[in-house]
Chain A
Amino acid sequence: MKSLTILKYQWKDLLRGKWIVGYGLIYLLIADAMIRFGNAGPKAMLSISNIMLLLIPLVGIIYGALYLYQTREFTELLLAQPIDRPSLFWGLFGGLAVPLAVAFAVGTAIPMIYTGMIITASTQSILLILLLGIVLTLLFTGLGFWFALKFFEDRVKGLGFALVSWLFLAVLYDGLVLLAVFAFGDYPIEKPMLALALANPIDLARITVLLEFDISALMGYTGAVFNRFFGSLMGISVAFSCLMLWLGIPLWRSQRQFDKKDF
């Protein structure tokens, strides 16, 4: 109930800041352009998912951290009011993560509707992309919150860690994986590789996209481990469960941190 009051206020505040509208517009323009140039087929979907994999984690983690710093006054004001900390935490989180997710989903869906792509393209692919985008938004906003709470007194440190983490998860991590593949390629490394991929939420989301759009290539791989993993329902369910874990753990940690924190 009190979370809702907080949510309502924050949404109003975010809308007034116009930032969130701009964020949604970015997706609208991108999706529109991709559908225009990609002939509404799987090519457009792939382009949209590529942008999504790049942009959502970056915006989520940075803005998640920044937001906690920006709303510090608001938080302190509310903490002295009769409200329990979990409600306040979820109010703060929902106040940012939900509008971000909605901006993405609506921004991406509108061009799909007016171009008729929603009818012509595979519904499963569209839903997968929208769902993944939403999960990624919640996940990385949660991570941003976590960093901000860990370094609550030092914004530069918090934002720095957030940015470096994104860079690590988005690029460097895969670089290390690639190096490992070339260093240990002669050993049976499929299982460790899968484990590595599952340990990075961006890779996890990316592999879910691969399962939808590149299954023909994945099935062309010579190796029973990948084939068994990707060829069955297990692949998608394991990937999704890991994604849920990745969503849950930072939020759970953040909430505990928020609960025990001195303001």
Chain B
Amino acid sequence: MKLFKITTILFVGLMLLLSVRSAIATQVTVSKDGDITSVQTGIDQAQPGDTVFVREGRYIEYDIRINKRITLLGEGEAIIDGDEQGFVVVVEADSTVIKDIEVHNSKAGFMDDYAGIVVEGAHYVRIENVKLVNNFFGIYLAKSEGTVLKNNHITASHQRETNSGNGIHLWYTKDVEILDNYVAGHRDGLYFEFVEGAFIAGNKSEKNIRYGIHFMYSDNCRYERNTFRDNGGGVAVMYTSNVDIVDNHFADNWGSSAYGMLLKEINRSTVTGNTFTNNSVGLYMEASSRNNVEGNEFNQNGWAVQLMANSTDNTFSKNNFVANSFEVSTNSRMNYSNNFDNNYWSQYEGYDLDRDGVGDVPHRPVRLFSILVEKQPQSLLLLRSLLVDLLDAAEKFMPALTPETLIDSKPQMEPVL
């Protein structure tokens, strides 16, 4: 009974406090035909905690500074157009919220990283439902903690790498959440450098000039349910430890240096439940160790996995390799403790006499032909010829050039679910 009373009092108190707060916070309205016609003026007139409400219309303004904690809220097609003059919105205050607004046409340049929205040194910023069109960089976060980017739509239509910046660019940030954003047409869709503890989920990054996502020196991050497709170079992640890459889709990355995902010096990380479909190379691993690659689907890639010999102690298990041109290729006869057991390989030609679901003879996913192609790429044209099949069969029977220990000793007869 007593407990109930106390909670009631607390609750009522809380409600009162909230109503007082909202009474204090006011709204400054910016509109094309009102008293305030400029977003910057609106911000200047607002008090910390106020909302600056931008009515529908195109506001040609650049270098807008948010230097106090406000909410910048748009209505309908409220567009802030930088007219390619400079940054569009610069956030300097903690806990700033930018929502339901459009930001267009930042300046492009080589000296400065111009951006649609730049957050520098401000923490706990929230950017949500913002449409960013044709900015050099889309959202640029530097030295920011606890910031959330959610449901933003970031596109650019630049053709060349040099006059295009990244869609979402993070530099020295901590505990950032990037959720359900869409990025297309930038240099890198997402770019992280020195990022710690980020959570990236549900984003879609496609048709970017270079990488769908590119990150380095960014430990302890988690990537979940993102889709990276049809980017110039696919996805490249480097120099990082302890990342979780789970349930993402890597698809349709075609080209001589296009990878579903490229891992370079990635250690102690997990790659699980992802699908790699229709990439020139599904998963490329270089100098990466102690990673767990499990339960992924590799479908119809040119090369499902390219594993460089300087990668060690990685485990590949319970993956499905279906209809890839090459299942695994490598650049050496050596295999340093990479384990490939318990996968399903559609190129497996063994049998299962005891009917326990596991093939009775080991599978060698590295074909002789993949080594020939490695040495002389032009021979790729002979793929699926009878000659190559004969060579592969001979090599399987008596391995002379392929790594002897790179085998799956428990190949599954049916795809792993």
Contacts and interface: CB of A to CB of B under 8 A. Distances in A.
A and B touch in the complex (CB under 8 A): yes
B280 interface: yes
B385 interface: yes
Contact of B346 (A43, A53, A185, A206): A43
A218 B384 contact: no
A124 interface: no
B280 A174 contact: no
Interface string B404-417: 00000000000100
B346 A220 contact: no
Contacts of B303: 217, 220
B25 interface: no
B20 interface: no
B256 A220 contact: yes
A238 interface: no
Interface in A164-197: 170-171, 174-175, 177-178, 181-182, 185, 189-190, 193-194, 197
Given A54-B386, A220-B258, A197 B381 contact: yes
Contact of A219 (B255, B326, B389): B255
Interface residues of A, number: 42
Given A181-B376, A217-B303, A193 B323 contact: no
Interface string B377-417: 11111111111111000000000000000000000000100
Nearest to A176: B387
A50 interface: yes
B114 to A, nearest CB: 34
B300 A213 contact: yes
A50 B254 CA distance: 24
Given A178-B382, A209-B384, A216 B325 contact: yes
B206 to A, nearest CB: 16
Contacts of A171: 386-387, 390
Contacts of B378: 181, 185, 189-190, 193, 223, 226
Interface residues of B, number: 36
B322 interface: yes
Contacts of B386: 53-54, 170-171, 174
B383 A210 contact: yes
A175 B387 contact: yes
Chain A CB within 10 Å, residue with most, of B280, B346, B385:
B385
Contact of B326 (A177, A209, A217): A217
B335 to A, nearest CB: 22
A175 B391 CA distance: 10
A81 interface: no
B256 to A, nearest CB: 4
Contacts of B388: 174
Nearest to A170: B386
Interface stretch (A4-12, A14-22, A34-42, A147-155): A34-42
Contacts of A43: 322-323, 346
B301 interface: yes
B274 interface: no
Interface of B: 254-258, 278-281, 300-303, 322-323, 325-326, 346, 372, 375-390, 415
30 contacts: A41-B323, A42-B322, A42-B323, A43-B346, A46-B323, A170-B386, A178-B372, A178-B379, A182-B376, A185-B375, A189-B378, A197-B381, A202-B385, A207-B381, A209-B384, A210-B384, A215-B254, A216-B279, A217-B302, A217-B326, A217-B380, A219-B258, A220-B302, A222-B377, A223-B256, A223-B377, A223-B378, A226-B378, A226-B380, A226-B381
Given A219-B256, A220-B303, 7 more contacts: A50-B384, A174-B388, A181-B376, A182-B376, A182-B379, A217-B326, A222-B256
Closest 4 CB pairs of A and B: A217-B302, A220-B280, A217-B325, A174-B387
Interface of A: 38-39, 41-43, 46, 50, 53-54, 170-171, 174-175, 177-178, 181-182, 185, 189-190, 193-194, 197, 202-203, 206-207, 209-210, 213-223, 226-227
